[in-house]
Amino acid sequence: MTYPHAGAARSYLFNDRTVDGYRRAMAAGAERVAERIRHADRPFSGVSPERLAPEIAAIDLERPLRDPAAALDEVERVYLRDAVYFHHPRYLAHLNCPVVIPALLGEAVLSAVNSSLDTWDQSAGGTLIERRLVEWTASRIGFGSAADGVFTSGGTQSNLHALLLAREEARTGASLARLRVITSAAGHFSVRKAANLLGLGPDAVVTVETDAERRMRPAALARELDRCRRAGLVVMAVVATAGTTDFGSIDPLPEIAALCRSAGVWLHVDAAYGCGLLVSRRRRHLLDGIERADSVTVDFHKSFFQPVSSSAVLVRDGAVLRHAAHHADYLNPLRMAERGIPNQVDKSLQTTRRFDALKLWLTLRVMGPDAVGELFDEVVDRAAEAHALISADPRFEIVTRSPLSTLVFRYLPPEGPGRKLADDANLYAREALAASGAAVVAGTRVDGRHYLKLTLLNPETTLDDIEHVLDLLAGHARRYVDELAPPADHPGATHVHA
Ligand SMILES: *Cc1c(COP(=O)(O)O)cnc(C)c1O
């Protein structure tokens, strides 16, 4: 496949005369990816930034290849070969899901048509489709007919947006320095980021303690609300988490909602991870109470099997979205809003914005919500089985039992001098595993100690996969400990580079 050379730049434009080139290019790209996926026998090659960076640095961006096939060969070398593959059943690290084909179809269509969802006159039906999906999501949450919302780039933006609205609702003369946001110690760091961006003071985010299952303690929240009131501070929002990033724990939403109601405080529920429960037929009850929130974050790119990005912020009362509205003469003058022309930019923090909603639309139209919920339920089932497996394994100690799909545990060296190496052994095991590419797992710190973390989001991951990964982790950790604190019966094991 060759394209005309310099001087024919216009032949690269996508239009009625170039559709054959478009078809060929898309088919060739899809073919490359398909071959990669077909043959990926591990989630990662284990490449290091030191090895990959020079290859990418050596490419001369001033000298185009002028041939999509050659450029794809290059992409194969600098990207596809060493990418991290989330579809692989031994990718167990972060909140990245395998994606469903109807959503990939949506991605291809939306990027080619390239609608921008800021205004009706740049999107037409795209705007109405997004609005239907916002309504659909709001009704799954249990919001009433006044609800509204908008798609965003991710949970971070959704949380920022929700907290902006909460700040504006709370600011009845209170100075920014007196505003507080209460979340749990297991809340997401984007809450802190948002507080910074919103101009709140350095002490604005107050964390309250969690229980043994890493859920916000309502009694601690009540105490904190009371303390703030007595100190003359204004709590602008409580952020409850439905699916904490580290533990998959779900804060007790009904109790928290009741406390917020009686204190007159905005409740934001960060369901970036737990939103998949909205379509679960077996576990929807775990989100009971979410309907009492003022705003909710959902990340379809976490538990709805959607490609990045696909996320939304929903509010119980659509009128509050006015706090983010600005009217520009050139784009969305007030008279358009008055005439009822649907301009989503009136509700969004972004201006030019992708039509990500089309991916969810095609997913629902092809598969339907129950099928998505089934996939998520399978993952949660698997996590429960894996929890039992790890709990029964003397090589490990496990922290909590998540109602979702995370497993936080650590290798525990045998009793003796090796015990004190537990932290480093777990760190080492995670890195050694990633360098081998055989599997990718995450890590986190719990009460100052290093732990390993599995986040299951792939229904294709079997218990065998998990067992295998546990063996690999224990093997790496054990080798590390034996090297530094050799057991008396076989001193001098092979050298370990930590
Ligand atoms: C992932 C996550 C976020 C951030 O979402 P992004 O889509 O990565 O911006 C926020 N809150 C929680 C609980 C999350 O798990």
Please give the average per-residue pLDDT across 124-143, as a whole number: 98
The rounded mean pLDDT for the chain is 94
pLDDT of residue 329: 83
Residues 409 and 295 in one domain: no
Report if residue 90 sits inside a domain: no
Contacts of 166 (CB under 8 A, 6+ apart): 181, 236, 237, 266, 268, 294, 295
Cβ(283)–Cβ(250) below 8 Å? no
Q: Is 311 in the pocket of ligand 1 (CB under 6 A)?
A: yes
Residue 335 pLDDT: 86
Asked if residue 358 is part of any domain, the answer here is yes
CA neighbor of 383 nearest in space, from 252, 253, 283: 283
Ligand 1 within 6 A of CB of 245? yes
Alpha-carbon distance 70 to 287, whole Å?
Answer: 50
Check if 154 has its Cβ closer than 6 Å to any atom of ligand 1.
Answer: yes
Give yes or no: residues 172 and 281 share one domain: yes
The confidence band for 352, taking pLDDT boundaries of 50, 70 and 90, is very high
Place of tokens 């204190």: 263
Distance CA 419, CA 462 (A): 31
Residue 309 CA: which ligand 1 atom is closest?
Answer: 7
Amino acid letter, 381? D
Residues 274 and 413 occupy one common structural domain: no
Among the candidates 367, 396, 428, a domain finishes at 367
- The three-state secondary structure class of 234 is strand
Of 299, 313, 404, the one to substitute when testing ligand 1's pocket (max ligand atoms within 8 A of C-beta) is: 299
* 121 Cα to the center of ligand 1, angstroms: 31
Q: Indicate the number of domains in the chain.
A: 2
Residue 492 is predicted with a pLDDT of 46
Residue 5 has pLDDT above 60, yes or no: no
157 and 281 share one domain: yes
Dump pLDDT digits (tens) for 185-231. Answer: 999 999 999 999 999 989 999 999 999 999 999 999 999 999 999 99
Structural domain contains residue 262: yes
> Which pLDDT belongs to residue 337?
82
Confidence of residue 2 (pLDDT cuts 50, 70, 90): low
Q: Percentage of the chain with pLDDT > 90?
A: 89
The CA-to-CA distance between both ends of the chain, in Å, stands at 48
Instruction: Using the predicted structure, report yes or no on whether residue 495 has a pLDDT greater than 80.
Output: no
Whether residue 183 lies inside any domain: the answer is yes
The answer to whether residues 432 and 287 belong to one domain is no
Same domain assignment for residues 422 and 458: yes
Per-residue pLDDT tens digits for 70-93: 999 999 999 999 999 999 999 999
Q: What percent of the chain has pLDDT over 70?
A: 96
On whether residue 133 sits in a domain, the answer given is: yes
Q: How far is the CA of 54 from the centre of ligand 1 (A)?
A: 32
Domain-embedded: residue 50: no
Q: Is the CB of 272 under 6 A from ligand 1?
A: yes
Q: What is the pLDDT of residues 290-299, one digit of tens each?
A: 999 999 999 9
Residue with the nearest Cα to atom 3 of ligand 1? Answer: 155
Q: Residue 402: which CATH number?
A: 3.90.1150.170
Other beta carbons within 10 Å of 246: 20
Whether 156 maps to a domain, the answer reads: yes
Residue 315 and residue 177 in one domain = yes
Range of the domain at 251: 116-367
pLDDT at 490 over 60: no
459 domain residue, yes or no: yes
Predicted confidence at residue 489, as pLDDT, reads: 60
CATH number of residue 342's parent domain: 3.40.640.10
Q: Which atom belonging to ligand 1 lies closest to the Cα atom of 155?
A: 5
d(CA 53, CA 55): 5
Residues 363 and 454 occupy one common structural domain: no
Phi and psi torsions of 450, nearest 5°: -80, 130
Mark whether 134 and 239 lie in a shared domain: yes
Judge whether 496 and 479 are in contact, CB under 8 Å: yes
Q: What is the pLDDT of residues 296-316, one digit of tens each?
A: 999 999 999 999 999 999 999
